[in-house]
Amino acid sequence: MKAEHRHELKTNELAQWLNNLPKWTKENMRIIIYLSIVLVLVVSAWIYKAYKSNVLSAREQLLLSSLLNEFEQNKVDILRQQTQGLDLSYMLIETSDKLRNFAAGTDNDEMAAFALIKAGQALRTELHYRISAVDNQTVSTQIAKAKSAYEEALNKAQNDASLRAMAMLGIGLCQEETANFDDAKKTYQQIVNDTALAVTTSAAAAEYRLAVMDGYTQLATFKEPPAPQPMFQPAEQDDTEIDFTLPPVVNSPVQE
């Protein structure tokens, strides 16, 4: 077939297709609309995902950093005000709530886990920063909330060894602070035995807790103090009798 003839056939086919296009479009209008909508949705989803992964992620990182700085600044402010007899430890509870709200609002599991770990830490720290004594019921209730935050963080941090170890360490500390020493030992031992967590600082902390925790579980006993000694010892008395008899008076001669 000659090239001129082939070109003529293609030209005729194109012209025929263009002539039939309006009719084909009218007959397949619903399919065209459906495909157009799907295409728009796919493109919009891709654009939104790219926007979220860049812009929103940066905003979330900035917000989380701000909350972590607030946590550290709270501790400084609380200790400073304690010198004047003021108790501002409640600020840590407010910061803990903010961190939990952040964790609930982000799709990033790593950032959510870290925020929850810090939320639990803030609750535990608040109890230690109070001026007045804390009753056992308050301790149990607040530590239970902290432990819940650590457990939620552990569920979100399965793919991050460092965060997983931090969450488990927090759970162990909660168990220890409520005198559940046997459970705390099991938690610490689980961290130490996990080879995937061996390089984390939390593993070293868990090993240290195992080494020193028994010292906190034993009741302290105090020896009786020695009898007080007088500041000055009296001189030893000599039983030798002392003669206090005066010598006789001798009259001297009177000179005339």
For the stretch 84-96, pLDDT in tens is 999 999 999 999 9
Q: Is residue 100 part of a domain?
A: yes
The answer to the question of residue 176 being in a domain is no
Give residues with Cβ within 8 angstroms of 197, minimum separation 6.
161, 164, 165, 168, 191, 203
Grade residue 110 by pLDDT with cuts at 50, 70 and 90. very high
**How many beta carbons lie within 10 A of that of residue 187, not counting itself?**
22
- Has residue 205 been placed in a domain? no
Domain membership flag for residue 182: no
Tell me: pLDDT of 180 over 80. Answer: yes
Report how far residue 93's alpha carbon sits from residue 84's, in angstroms, rounded to the nearest whole number. Answer: 21
Prediction pTM value: 0.67
Q: Is residue 191 part of a domain?
A: no
Residue 35 lies in a domain: yes
pLDDT surpasses 70 at 183: yes
In the predicted model, is pLDDT for residue 28 greater than 90? no
Among the residue ranges 26-40, 68-82, 196-210, 216-230, the one predicted with the least confidence is 216-230
| Cβ-Cβ contacts under 8 Å for 114 (sequence gap 6 or more) | 64, 153, 163, 166
Residue 203 included in any domain: no
How many domains, in total, are found in the chain? Answer: 1
- Structural domain that includes position 27: 7-159
Largest Cα span, the chain: 190
Could you report the per-residue pLDDT of 134-155, keeping only the tens digit for each?
A: 999 999 999 999 999 999 999 9
Decide if 134 is inside a domain. yes
pLDDT, position 38: 79
3-state secondary structure of 65: helix
